[in-house]
Amino acid sequence: MKKWLLLLLSCMLVFTLAACSEGSGKDVTGGVEIKQVSDMKGTVRVALAGWQLDNGINAQTGNSTIGLTEYMDKTFKKMYPNIKVELYQIPWENVKAKQTAMLMSGDADVLYTGGAFASQWYQDGLLRDLDDLIKEDTSFDPGIYLDGIMNNSYSTKSPDGTKQFGIPAVLGRRMTIYDKKLFSDWGVEGLTEKATPDEILEKAKKMTGKNPKTGEQNYGVYWSGNSLNGSTFVALTLAFGAKGAEGSLKDVKSIKWHLNTPEMVKVMEWLKEAAKLPPAGFITAQGAENFGLEKNNIAIALDSTGGATMNEFIANNNKELLDRFEPVMNMGPKGEGWVAVDPFVMAKNAKDVKASWEVLKFLTSPMTQKYTYENFAMTPTIKQADFVKPEDKYVKKALDIANVGHSELMDEANPFYMSDIVPAVNGFISKAASGNAPDTQQFLDELQDRAEKWSANLK
Amino acid sequence: MILSNEMNADKKMTPKRKKWFTRNDWTGYLFSAPLIIGVLAFAIYPMFAALFISFHQTSGLSLNGKWVGLSNYRYALEDPVFWQALTNTFLMGVLSVVLGIVLSFVLASLINNLKWNFGKNFFKAVYFLPNVVSAVATSLLFSFLFFPSKEGLLNFVLSWFGVHHPIGWFTNPEVSRYSIVLMSLWGALGYNTIIFLAGLQSVPRDLYEAAEVDGAGGYKKWLHITIPYLRPIFVFMLIMGTIGGMKRFTDVWLIGGTAGNPGGSLMTVVLYIYRNAFLASQMGLATAASYLLFIIILVLTAVMMLLNRRKDSLD
């Protein structure tokens, strides 16, 4: 009996393994026939922050997803049969330290990473300029990428803007989204296409309290109060014209700080007022779990992605929610905000530069961007993203925002911004939320003083 | 003759000078080489490299930075954020250690007194379970348990007892540090309890029997035999707890972000080091702050060990 049971279990295991070891059988090329492009030889080691290599299931939509390994087998391997691509996946947690180690030890040729990390590595001389490769390669058209992120981002351009070291692959989505139902319940007119901070604050104040129709507690506005990159603060500095600093990241110690200007006071005063309106958990990035869904109680979400609504649409074809949650541009004068760009970059000491360039080019190509959008809802970085679902108004809006985007010194590529300004602003917000906001001018004077001391310590 | 005999005797008595590398020694060194190399490469070298970096202005990619002397130390010591971080760390550390030791000792004593073996094992397993949960999972779990509105589980339960105003466990700067202590107690209680249980089981039975003959009750035996006998374990827990408490990072970072929200109340020294090392790439400043923390921990540990040098009266 035991033998039979063992045999049965073994058979089940073998069949399961056999079934799982097959490819997905899904088309990843959009029906395009893949032909050999070149017989170039080489080995390229690719270090990817956070990508999924194996086939799996999207936990939010329940749809099956094709891993990068199968995608590369079905596409790149046929195009370049003699280039061996070694893929290394690195979880986002502590990715900077791990990828830095790989760069220093010469264990990676091509990397996908966070924009701020790429910028830092470039300044440390660990990355290679791509200008010569772009110039030589007639098949590569840099014009297909959104101008705002290809030409005006610290994640892809050198601090002085003269050299290209990265090609944008994935875009961060940050836009203002409002709930039309709550606006209607309160009798408030919807947001304008380029809603200013003043408009947002004025309308948010009207919609904080007991909903006149449902009687439920509503909150006028929401943003993450402990955001790592302070994206809402960046959008506000753009809106109020508060530069914060002057100079170049190429020479960090010579940056002139302007953190206590009247414009910056306006930014902080706005935050002080607005901090009274979100749910209490916003200072630890909680409280907006239902935004974009049926039970939502927040009228306006800043720097939102629309992901929850879109997932509901993909999983359950819920068009009602799509109509209910409307995206508009971010708060900058042209509708711009802080735009995260994750690029592909090449190591300074890449072993096989030509083969590495072919891999880098392929992984940032429209075909790969279509694959990452369809499987992992990653936002593309190209102008003609015709594969984006017609209903996906959030990605379209993100592309519009990215197209007018530009990097300023209030950016995660700025070390003092990340280590001190963002935490200080987040601390200010949390104090304002509990009704103990410090005097704005004094807070900014102290921050200015701190910034000057920080710069002095570098000299 | 006598002299010569004495000289011979001296020769016999003088121990032979030991050769540095006998055949046996070689084998020993060979077996311990991997460990020695590992310790040198991954503990001793990084410590000295970090000390070297702390006197430089560098992003940490190489040891070749600009020499700045004590500037990084001066900057950290004059930085109010560093002192705020140190105060928070110290407060949370002291509370965690004291409450952790007291509660786990009481718990271990209760479990140890159970007559039923299954009950002992059951409670050991129950209290130890949180210890195998990662700090990340614990932080996520508690951020929902301690949700600051009335929908939060703890606030909901408190409302049954008349506390109708929801407590901002992680959003009120006055409360957040204590919430973190509560959370860390939940995680560490099991480990401490197991250590104490092992200690309790090593207390000689004859001491209790002698005390019983002298008419001592349960409480007196606990106070005058168990506690003094476990003194080395208390000291061990105190030192390890202090070191762990001073290095607090993961939970406060996951909950309060890089600002140590709310209002900087969850800003700890290691979070300060992390911010400077990995967000600002100021590795010189970060290593200087690390060495300051190292000195503080060293001093605290030395003080605790000195206070414990008094010979135990039981011996």
CATH number of the domain within which A260 lies? 3.40.190.10
Q: Out of A124, A283, A416, whose CB is closest to B171?
A: A283
Structural domain contains residue B4 = no
Structural domain contains residue B17 = no
Tell whether A254 and A394 lie within a shared domain. no
Structural domain contains residue A387 = yes
Tell whether B143 and B246 lie within a shared domain. yes
> Considering only alpha carbons, which residue of chain A is nearest residue B149?
A280
Distance from CA of A181 to the nearest CA of B (A): 23
Residue ending a domain, among A361, A381, A404, is A404
Distance from CA of B78 to the nearest CA of A (A): 10
Tell whether B280 and B263 lie within a shared domain. yes
The yes/no answer to whether this complex scores an ipTM above 0.90 is: no
Structural domain contains residue A160 = yes
pTM score, two decimals? 0.84
Residue ending a domain, among B13, B44, B68, is B68
Provide, as residue numbers in chain B, all residues whose Cβ is less than 8 Å from the Cβ of A104. Answer: 61
Q: How many domains does chain A have?
A: 2
Task: Find the domain containing B301 and state its range.
Answer: 72-308
When the pLDDT of each residue in chain B is averaged and rounded to a whole number, the result is 88
List residues of chain A with CB under 8 Å from any CB of chain B.
Answer: 96-97, 100, 104, 120, 124, 126, 225-228, 279-281, 283-287, 415-416, 418-420, 422-427, 430-431, 433-434, 436, 453-454, 457-458
d(CA B131, CA B111): 18
Q: How many domains does chain B have?
A: 2
Provide, as residue numbers in chain B, all residues whose Cβ is less than 8 Å from the Cβ of A436. Answer: 173, 263
Tell whether B269 and B206 lie within a shared domain. yes
Structural domain contains residue B13 = no
Structural domain contains residue A12 = no
Structural domain contains residue A17 = no
Residue ending a domain, among B6, B38, B68, is B68
Return per-residue pLDDT of chain A as tens, 459 residues.
677 777 777 777 766 655 555 555 667 776 778 889 999 999 999 999 999 999 998 888 888 999 999 999 999 999 999 999 999 999 987 788 899 999 999 999 999 999 989 998 998 899 999 999 999 999 999 999 998 889 888 999 998 889 999 999 999 999 999 999 999 999 999 999 999 999 999 999 999 999 999 999 999 999 999 898 899 999 999 999 999 999 988 888 889 999 999 999 999 999 999 999 999 899 888 999 999 999 999 999 999 999 999 999 999 999 999 999 999 999 999 999 999 999 999 999 999 999 999 999 999 999 999 999 999 999 999 999 999 999 999 999 999 999 888 888 999 889 899 889 999 999 999 999 988 899 999 999 999 999 999 888 877
B183, B251 Cβ separation under 8 angstroms:
yes
Distance from CA of A259 to the nearest CA of B (A): 18
Tell whether A261 and A369 lie within a shared domain. no
CB–CB contact A415 B147 (8 Å): no
d(CA B205, CA B219): 16
Distance from CA of A367 to the nearest CA of B (A): 33
Most A CBs within 10 Å, among B66, B73, B142, B258, to test the A interface: B258
Task: Find the domain containing A446 and state its range.
Answer: 175-338+414-457
Most A CBs within 10 Å, among B63, B66, B67, B171, to test the A interface: B171
A399, B263 Cβ separation under 8 angstroms:
no
Q: Is the dihedral of CA B225, B229, B233, B236 positive or negative?
A: positive
d(CA B179, CA B177): 5
Residue ending a domain, among B41, B68, B95, is B68
Tell whether A113 and A217 lie within a shared domain. no
Provide, as residue numbers in chain A, all residues whose Cβ is less than 8 Å from the Cβ of B285. Answer: 457
CB–CB contact A423 B256 (8 Å): no
Tell whether B84 and B42 lie within a shared domain. no
Burial of A98: CB neighbours in 10 Å, binned 0-12, 13-18, 19+: middle
pLDDT tens digits, residue range B33-58?
Answer: 999 999 999 999 999 999 999 999 88
Tell whether B175 and B124 lie within a shared domain. yes
Distance from CA of A117 to the nearest CA of B (A): 9
Token pair belonging to A116: 């701020």
